Amino acid sequence: MAKEILPAENIKLNVSLNSRDEAIREAGKILVEGGYTDEAYIDKMFEREEITSTFMGNSVAIPHGTDDAKESVHYSGLSLIQVPEGVEYGDGNTVKLIFGIAGKNNEHLEILSKIAILCSDEDNVEKMIQATSKDELLEMFKEVE
């Protein structure tokens, strides 16, 4: 049975986070709780961050696991955390939207490209940061598909 990639329960609005590590852990925890990945995937997200920052610019970060994290992924999924006040993500970068990504096979590449398209437009990013409902955010993703 296929799982929805971004159901409403994978979205957290108006969250306050104190650090990059807390942001990554929270993004991973949503994926674990939703049954997309197992606990070990969160460690792989931190390993990925050591290799290269997942900060994408435009107040967006997309923490995800390393290439060898595949056995920890059960279903492709996405978590989205909105942090209106922002969180320090390292190197002086502030992040307000965190997309946790788990991809089965190479499905995460398609997910990444959708996020990239959506977030390359600063107006879209601003709309997502200002969104007051999960439906507003889900609607923006439907438009990309």
Catalytic site residue 64? Answer: yes
User: CB pairs under 8 A, 24+ apart, for 31-34?
Assistant: 31/77, 31/79, 31/100, 31/102, 34/3, 34/7, 34/9, 34/10, 34/77, 34/79
CA 145 to chain centre: 17
To which residue do tokens 């909105």 refer? 82
> Which among 20, 64, 96, 108 is annotated as catalytic?
64
Q: What is d(CA 36, CA 100) in angstroms, rounded to the nearest whole number? A: 11
Query: Would you please indicate which residues are annotated as catalytic (active-site) residues?
Result: 64
